[in-house]
Amino acid sequence: MHFSSDNWAGAHPRIAESLTRHAAGFEPAYGGGDLDAAVTRRFCEIFEREVAVFFVGTGTAANALSLTLHARPGGIAFCHRGAHIMEDECGAPEYLSGGGRLRAVDGPFGKFSADALERSVARFFPQIVHDGRACAISITQATEAGTVYSLDEIEGISAVAGKFALPLHMDGARFANALVSLDTTPAEMTWKRGVDMVSFGGTKNGCWCAEAIVLFDTSKADELAFIRKRAAQLFSKSRFIAAQFDAYFADDLWLETARHANATAAALADVLRTAPLTRLAWEPQANEVFGIMRRDTMDRALAAGARFYEWHVPADFAEPIAPDEVLCRFVTSFATSRGEIDTFARLVGN
Amino acid sequence: MHFSSDNWAGAHPRIAESLTRHAAGFEPAYGGGDLDAAVTRRFCEIFEREVAVFFVGTGTAANALSLTLHARPGGIAFCHRGAHIMEDECGAPEYLSGGGRLRAVDGPFGKFSADALERSVARFFPQIVHDGRACAISITQATEAGTVYSLDEIEGISAVAGKFALPLHMDGARFANALVSLDTTPAEMTWKRGVDMVSFGGTKNGCWCAEAIVLFDTSKADELAFIRKRAAQLFSKSRFIAAQFDAYFADDLWLETARHANATAAALADVLRTAPLTRLAWEPQANEVFGIMRRDTMDRALAAGARFYEWHVPADFAEPIAPDEVLCRFVTSFATSRGEIDTFARLVGN
Amino acid sequence: MHFSSDNWAGAHPRIAESLTRHAAGFEPAYGGGDLDAAVTRRFCEIFEREVAVFFVGTGTAANALSLTLHARPGGIAFCHRGAHIMEDECGAPEYLSGGGRLRAVDGPFGKFSADALERSVARFFPQIVHDGRACAISITQATEAGTVYSLDEIEGISAVAGKFALPLHMDGARFANALVSLDTTPAEMTWKRGVDMVSFGGTKNGCWCAEAIVLFDTSKADELAFIRKRAAQLFSKSRFIAAQFDAYFADDLWLETARHANATAAALADVLRTAPLTRLAWEPQANEVFGIMRRDTMDRALAAGARFYEWHVPADFAEPIAPDEVLCRFVTSFATSRGEIDTFARLVGN
Amino acid sequence: MHFSSDNWAGAHPRIAESLTRHAAGFEPAYGGGDLDAAVTRRFCEIFEREVAVFFVGTGTAANALSLTLHARPGGIAFCHRGAHIMEDECGAPEYLSGGGRLRAVDGPFGKFSADALERSVARFFPQIVHDGRACAISITQATEAGTVYSLDEIEGISAVAGKFALPLHMDGARFANALVSLDTTPAEMTWKRGVDMVSFGGTKNGCWCAEAIVLFDTSKADELAFIRKRAAQLFSKSRFIAAQFDAYFADDLWLETARHANATAAALADVLRTAPLTRLAWEPQANEVFGIMRRDTMDRALAAGARFYEWHVPADFAEPIAPDEVLCRFVTSFATSRGEIDTFARLVGN
């Protein structure tokens, strides 16, 4: 019953096999090899256009360096209050961007609306040095609340970004989970809706460590090359990240693993919705599920070996929650089995 | 004939096998798993004392974050003019340390003497804010010139560090190559000689990406944990770095691969020393060899498929070198074969 | 009718006279002169203890460098949502601290309570690297809302700071205004209540540019000396800042100018409270007054030559405010005359 | 006998008078007042073109923020080994630029040649991320060695800058001294020779604290406005810096004070050249003079009340200097009297 996080899982066998297959032989270091080039072309096909691709080691690096690319003196990047860059990266975005600031935008279920964003951005005037100035907007897709921005919502947000001439970044640590949830294409979910750059995550969906910054404006690639190297994120044996992505995309493995994770999340949501001792906090749309239960129920489940986290109740949480209740987060992955969910179901009275 | 760099090689089969073996199952993320703990204990055994170990993704990260741990306002870290941190890291040490400065110390064959270091440090007075102040010393072992500091030389340098109360960092991107060259133990080459922290590199010696910061003063571990996370170098599936080190240390694989690299370097040095068209620039002590040849010889070798780099002649280069001659660097690795060296020997007239 | 800000005023004649008096002759640069030493001793007398004093050029510098002194990787400084460091310094605290983060604490009338602070700090655990960690607390005295923390309130906040072992910084850009408002002593308002460092402002209260960082823990002085120099805030002809403070403290000029500013603010508050066309937003305690009026009244006053700013209504504003009403800020200073207030009173119907 | 530095002098009476004259009345803060605008126009007249002018508090700030304007990831700014930014600013350029690097270029008498610069810059290739990349060139005029770049030399250097598309910064802490030494105009010494920005210093030449960044490319002004504010260098009562420059330029006071300083330096050079116990190290061209004498002579002069500094002998010092000799620096200013020089002459045997 491993629901702590999708990064508690290991690597998918086909990812592991690819790493082994590409272990032998010599290749130019620092991304100069054939495999890196081939995988970059694969990214272009997947996104149906020319893109610049920069492999990095962690999602935090992908996010922080994307924002660093657009950092400006006094710059403020807007994100949801619960965004990973705000809550879970130890200030990496501020640090790596040379002192930039993040500003929280509120909204229920891990998403903010275009209107809320516009109100938040509009109070900064481009010429008033005291306040600082807007420099970027970041959304997470799928969100940290397990929800997914619709294509229309993304378009609405990018319209605000465009109005203020701001780049729109998408933290796609769970890009594949959102993609299959919306049943759309990478192009439709990103640049066709005005997204400028993506932190494209493979790690949570079956890779070991395969993250990439994808730029739709390739004129910024030269700059990002220096940004990445300066941040110690240029891997000498870059081919091994390429090898992971190579297997990730082959035969649509990435969509298969994401569908599996989403499906097991839906099954877990069913359990939480219907079990006598739990209820569902809100409807999941990807591979993170939030449930509410009594603290003693949670303690019992943990004692029985279930692994999941109590969660901070977000500020704009709409559900009434009793004093003895807790909000809990469950995450599924490519490696989650139906058996684990059945076992958990029995634990909570189903 | 792949002599470009040891990071053009892939991963040793036993490293690759370990990655696959540890791919399945769930483990706490961010270094909390059993394998991470076991490998940390292995580091303690290898260094014969309690150490704190922080896995990171690149050698640049290991170096820059080691120096960041000791950064101070106005701080200056001293290193050899040809040090990797000075020449090859795109300013990562300055950037990640919040604007620290590196100061070059000169010395032949990639090493500086204790005396040269002392003269360089002594001109900074701890209370004069204008000049800045010394904050760390860094040596590379084996050096970028393929040489190795003797234990006495390390001790001499650490005595200077101690005199000025400065931490001594060792860039051990080729730690194993130096270790087997000196036929000594990790403890003797480091903390027993006054080294305070090591960038412990596995990547160039057969791993895919396995680098670790090793602290002998474990009281600084809490601080480094935040430094690493903030720099986006905390890997969620940390177990895969652990898995590499696990195989690296098992049955002394790391010493075996380092000995192989050094031995092939020695063979290559023999070729350069004795071939009619080349000469040896200086005696190698690890797995980097520097030779001198006419430019047309170099061009012919490159055209014939040999892979190596022309090198900048260092400022204090003692050998007379003719205008039509070039200095070239050759690097061997665990994957270098005797056949490659024989082929090269034929190319240069042996 | 200059109520825009207290920094629209010039310099008090006695400050100007002191600058002229100290213009001639030679003095050691960079703070090494006799006048600097004498003024530092004066600070010690005023605070009734040994203090370390660092002159800087702007209040933003004093604040940001105070926080930089306590910056830590992943560090978060807590301040009121409306704090100057949060709203008006263009990200200087984040930038100069190497990427630190500010976190807003809410509370009415520009102040937060000890309880609100504790709730905000308590969610950061010292060992969890993902979230970052608390590193400092900052309060503004007098606040940006023209209110003043009572001695008990300061003590309550410092108790929270102490519980989490965090330094407590006081942004005293309007230190004197708060001091005379509370009718207390500098010692009572600061270190006797647990404050660790003060941005001691003279500029808004009659100096040209005289700001100082006052440290009660003098063991940190060496570090701050480098922090100040590195931030380009060490003035070569430091004596001229000293000359301002010399006159500022002489014959309690600073208390006199602060009392005048507060008294004229109180008179202005009376006008706003009683005039037919205005009302007082809340009771001022120092030299900033907030009033509410119809937008057309404001426009008329501005057209008639009154200088003041429309203000953003703070998030937790308790007063009902009509759609056609605006919140306005008025600031008085040593240079504000009763005549200006009388003129304004006539404008708004008194 | 105050020859320690030109910043040991106070303020010229006409500067002091201007400060007093502008002390009364209200002015928009942060540079929005009439006097600021008038002084900016005066700068345009002096430079015979449109310029953007940013007042800052220190020369270190002017230099570091000029370089920050042109900072790039992995960026390297080239300057003379003895440049103030390299030797005397506690790492402010690196820190404020977010981790940029300075690289020393050598050359005798405080100047580097266009050729030396070109060799130094040429080894950095714009696309090689490992090495970093050139981002700016900085020269000091007059230099730290009391010499002055000729107009031809500046033009030669700017040609190299242009070849590599790099901005050329001039540290003009002693701009006026160089100007009158060359008997040329500000326009001829700067933008007509390819200089892009100037740290325009008034402090060392009779102001209290009046420094300005002058940009010839005004399209960068918006960016620099944020850079200045973020670095805590935007003064609220900016009019007082303006007031200093107002008097500085009036009736060519600045040229008069610079001529006086240079003339007294020349007189001091005569003393050092001809006195039995001293010799001149090299010919001064501005207001800094370097002499050589026996250590006991120096000690005697200091004991007799002369104030000057022993200086580090620069690496490429051409003069033979005996083991018991020392190199000493003497600086004159607007406040230096002929009497002081006569007294010193008697001390050294003239």
- Residues A234, A316 within the same domain: no
Mean pLDDT across the stretch B139-157? 98
Partner-chain contact C209 D235, CB within 8 Å: yes
Q: What are phi and psi of D329, to 5 degrees?
A: -110, 135
- The Cα–Cα gap between B341 and B265 comes to 9
State yes or no: pLDDT of C209 exceeds 80: yes
Q: Is residue D302 part of a domain?
A: yes
- The Cα–Cα gap between B35 and B25 comes to 12
Mean pLDDT across the stretch B297-307? 95
Q: Is residue A5 part of a domain?
A: no
Is ipTM over 0.90?
Answer: yes
Partner-chain contact C99 A91, CB within 8 Å: yes
By residue range, what is the domain housing residue B264?
A: 254-347
Task: Single out the residue in D252, D277, D294 at which a domain terminates.
Answer: D252
DSSP helix/strand/coil, C210: coil
What are the chain B neighbours of D90 within 8 Å (beta carbons)?
A: 73-74, 129-132
Task: Single out the residue in D220, D252, D284 at which a domain terminates.
Answer: D252
Q: Is residue A1 part of a domain?
A: no
Q: Is residue D2 part of a domain?
A: no
pLDDT for residue B126: 85
pLDDT for residue B69: 98
What are the chain B neighbours of A57 within 8 Å (beta carbons)?
A: 57-58, 209, 232-233, 235
Q: Considering only the beta carbons, identify the residue of C129, C227, C228 that sits closest to B225.
A: C129
**CA dist D271 → C298, D178, D308 (Å):** 70, 22, 15
Evaluate whether D93 touches D169 at the Cβ level (below 8 Å). Answer: no
- The Cα–Cα gap between C189 and C155 comes to 9
Q: Considering only the beta carbons, identify the residue of A89, A95, A132 that sits closest to C90.
A: A132
Task: Give the sheet arrangement for strand A52-56, strand by strand.
Answer: A52-56, A211-215, A197-201, A168-172, A133-140, A75-80, A101-105
Task: Single out the residue in D227, D252, D277 at which a domain terminates.
Answer: D252
pLDDT for residue C248: 98
- The Cα–Cα gap between C283 and C274 comes to 13
* Cβ contacts of B348 within 8 Å, gap of 6 or more: B271, B272, B275, B276, B277, B278, B293, B297, B301
Quickly state the pLDDT bin for C129 (edges 50, 70, 90): very high
State yes or no: pLDDT of B319 exceeds 80: no
Quickly state the pLDDT bin for B317 (edges 50, 70, 90): confident
Partner-chain contact B130 C229, CB within 8 Å: yes
Give first-to-last CA distance, chain D, whole Å.
Answer: 15
DSSP helix/strand/coil, B294: strand
Residue B124 has what DSSP assignment? -
For residue C306, the domain's CATH number is: 3.90.1150.10
Q: Is residue B5 part of a domain?
A: no
Q: What are phi and psi of D330, to 5 degrees?
A: -125, 135
B177-199 pLDDT tens trace: 999 999 999 999 999 999 999 99
Quickly state the pLDDT bin for B23 (edges 50, 70, 90): very high
- Residues D128, D217 within the same domain: yes
Mean pLDDT across the stretch C132-154? 98
What are the chain A neighbours of D230 within 8 Å (beta carbons)?
A: 73-74, 99, 129, 132
Mean pLDDT across the stretch B10-30? 96
Give first-to-last CA distance, chain C, whole Å.
Answer: 15
Q: Considering only the beta carbons, identify the residue of C61, C209, C231 that sits closest to D237.
A: C209
pLDDT for residue D101: 97
| Joined tokens for residue C169 | 């910084």
| Joined tokens for residue D224 | 């620099």
Task: Give the sheet arrangement for strand D197-201, strand by strand.
Answer: D52-56, D211-215, D197-201, D168-172, D133-140, D75-80, D101-105
Return the bridge partners of B307, or none.
B2
Q: Considering only the beta carbons, identify the residue of B11, B91, B236 that sits closest to A230.
A: B91
A156-209 pLDDT tens trace: 999 999 999 999 999 999 999 999 999 999 999 999 999 999 999 999 999 999
Q: Supply the angle between the helices D13-21 and D239-249 in degrees, to the nearest 10.
A: 140
Please say whether the dihedral angle defined by the alpha carbons of residues A57, A62, A64 and A65, taken in this order, is positive or negative.
positive
**CA dist A233 → A104, B99, B146, D184, D349 (Å):** 27, 18, 25, 50, 65
Task: Give the sheet arrangement for strand B75-80, strand by strand.
Answer: B52-56, B211-215, B197-201, B168-172, B133-140, B75-80, B101-105
- Residues A233, A267 within the same domain: no
- Residue B313 neighbours by CB distance under 10 Å: 15
- Residues A316, A194 within the same domain: no
Partner-chain contact B91 D98, CB within 8 Å: no
For chain A, give the mean pLDDT. 96
Partner-chain contact C130 A89, CB within 8 Å: yes
C-alpha A335: how far from chain center: 18
pLDDT for residue A320: 82
State yes or no: pLDDT of A253 exceeds 80: yes
State yes or no: pLDDT of D349 exceeds 90: no
Quickly state the pLDDT bin for B349 (edges 50, 70, 90): confident
State yes or no: pLDDT of D139 exceeds 80: yes
**How many residues does this entry show for chain D?**
350
Of chain D, the percentage scoring pLDDT greater than 90 comes to 95
Please say whether the dihedral angle defined by the alpha carbons of residues D271, D274, D275 and D278, taken in this order, is positive or negative.
positive
Mean pLDDT across the stretch D147-158? 98
Please say whether the dihedral angle defined by the alpha carbons of residues B193, B197, B202 and B205, taken in this order, is positive or negative.
negative
In one-letter notation, the amino acid at residue D171 is D
Mean pLDDT across the stretch B43-54? 98
Partner-chain contact B73 D87, CB within 8 Å: no
DSSP helix/strand/coil, B120: helix
A85-125 pLDDT tens trace: 999 999 999 999 999 999 999 999 999 999 999 999 999 98
- Chain A nearest-CA distance from D163, in A, is 20
- Residues D104, D180 within the same domain: yes
Mean pLDDT across the stretch B266-284? 96
Q: Give the range among B295-304, C54-63, C316-325 with minimum mean pLDDT.
A: C316-325
pLDDT for residue A85: 98
Give me the half-sphere count of Cα atoms (radius 13 Å) on the Cβ side of residue D37. 6
Q: Using DSSP bridges, classify how beta strands D101-105 and D75-80 pair: parallel, antiparallel or unpaired.
A: parallel
**CA dist C212 → C51, C269, D195, D302 (Å):** 11, 30, 36, 33
- The Cα–Cα gap between C337 and C342 comes to 9
- Residues A240, A206 within the same domain: yes
- The Cα–Cα gap between D30 and D240 comes to 11
Quickly state the pLDDT bin for D108 (edges 50, 70, 90): very high
In one-letter notation, the amino acid at residue B201 is G
Q: Considering only the beta carbons, identify the residue of D89, D95, D312 that sits closest to B98.
A: D95
* Cβ contacts of D104 within 8 Å, gap of 6 or more: D79, D80, D81, D83, D86
Mean pLDDT across the stretch B263-275? 97
For chain B, give the mean pLDDT. 96
- Residue A33 neighbours by CB distance under 10 Å: 20
- Residue B127 neighbours by CB distance under 10 Å: 8
* Cβ contacts of B128 within 8 Å, gap of 6 or more: none
Evaluate whether D60 touches D92 at the Cβ level (below 8 Å). Answer: yes
Q: Using DSSP bridges, classify how beta strands A211-215 and C52-56 pair: parallel, antiparallel or unpaired.
A: unpaired
pTM, 2 dp: 0.97
- Residues A207, A314 within the same domain: no
Q: Is residue A341 part of a domain?
A: yes
Which residue matches tokens 């500013």? C261
- The Cα–Cα gap between A176 and A256 comes to 9
- Chain A nearest-CA distance from B104, in A, is 19
Q: What are phi and psi of C31, to 5 degrees?
A: 90, 5
User: Which residues in C have their CB inside 8 Å of a CB on B?
Assistant: 30, 68, 72-74, 98-99, 127, 129-130, 132-133, 222-223, 225-230, 234
User: Which residues in A have their CB inside 8 Å of a CB on C?
Assistant: 73-76, 87-91, 94-102, 123, 129-132, 312
Quickly state the pLDDT bin for B313 (edges 50, 70, 90): confident
Q: Considering only the beta carbons, identify the residue of B72, B74, B227 that sits closest to C73.
A: B227
Instruction: Answer with the residue of higher pLDDT: A350 or D192.
Output: D192
Partner-chain contact B91 D74, CB within 8 Å: yes
- Chain B nearest-CA distance from A272, in A, is 23
* Cβ contacts of A28 within 8 Å, gap of 6 or more: B4, B8
Return the bridge partners of B170, or none.
B139, B198
Count how many pairs of residues, chain B against chain D, have C-beta atoms within 8 Å.
64
* Cβ contacts of A257 within 8 Å, gap of 6 or more: A12, A176, A205, A206, A333, A334
C148-159 pLDDT tens trace: 999 999 999 999
- Residues C215, C314 within the same domain: no
Task: Give the sheet arrangement for strand A288-294, strand by strand.
Answer: A278-280, A288-294, A325-331, A309-311
Q: Is residue A106 part of a domain?
A: yes
Chain D contact partners (≥3 CB pairs within 8 A): A, B, C
| Joined tokens for residue C333 | 């200073």
Instruction: Give the residue from C287, C246, C243, C193 showing the smallest Cα distance to C20.
Output: C243
- The Cα–Cα gap between D130 and C35 comes to 50
pLDDT for residue C126: 85
A304-336 pLDDT tens trace: 999 999 998 776 777 788 999 999 999 999 999
Chain B contact partners (≥3 CB pairs within 8 A): A, C, D
For residue A166, the domain's CATH number is: 3.40.640.10
- Residues A85, A200 within the same domain: yes
Return the bridge partners of C333, or none.
none
State yes or no: pLDDT of C176 exceeds 90: yes
DSSP helix/strand/coil, B196: coil
Which residue matches tokens 């634990």? A347
pLDDT for residue D234: 98
Residue C314 has what DSSP assignment? P
Q: Is residue B220 part of a domain?
A: yes
| Joined tokens for residue B262 | 């050094």
- Residues A15, A122 within the same domain: yes
- Residues B231, B286 within the same domain: no
- The Cα–Cα gap between D161 and D164 comes to 5
> Secondary structure of chain D in the HEC alphabet?
CECCCHHHCCCCHHHHHHHHHCCCCCCCCCCCCHHHHHHHHHHHHHHCCCCEEEEECCHHHHHHHHHHHCCCCCEEEEEECCCHHHHCCCCHHHHHCCCCEEEEECCHHHCCCHHHHHHHHHCCCCCCCCCCEEEEEEEECCCCCCCCCCHHHHHHHHHHHHHCCCCEEEEECCHHHHHHHHCCCHHHHCHHHCCCEEEEECHHHCCCCCEEEEECCHHHHHHHHHHHHHCCCCCCCCHHHHHHHHHHHHHHHHHHHHHHHHHHHHHHHHHHHHCCCEEECCCCCCCEEEEEEEHHHHHHHHHCCCECEEECCCCCCCCCCCCCEEEEEEECCCCCCHHHHHHHHHHCCC
D63-99 pLDDT tens trace: 999 999 999 999 999 999 999 999 999 999 999 999 9
Cis peptide bond prior to B142, omega within 30° of 0: yes
pLDDT for residue B314: 76
Q: Considering only the beta carbons, identify the residue of D98, D102, D132 that sits closest to B90.
A: D132
Mutate to test the interface with D, among B90, B129, B312 (most CBs of D within 10 A): B90
- The Cα–Cα gap between B194 and B188 comes to 9
Partner-chain contact B9 A17, CB within 8 Å: no
* Cβ contacts of D227 within 8 Å, gap of 6 or more: A73, D65, D68, D69
- Residues D71, D184 within the same domain: yes
State yes or no: pLDDT of C193 exceeds 90: yes
> Secondary structure of B313-337 in the HEC alphabet?
CCCCCCCCCCCCEEEEEEECCCCCC
Quickly state the pLDDT bin for D313 (edges 50, 70, 90): confident
Instruction: Answer with the residue of higher pLDDT: A253 or D313.
Output: A253
Number of domains in chain C: 2
A132-169 pLDDT tens trace: 999 999 999 999 999 999 999 999 999 999 999 999 99
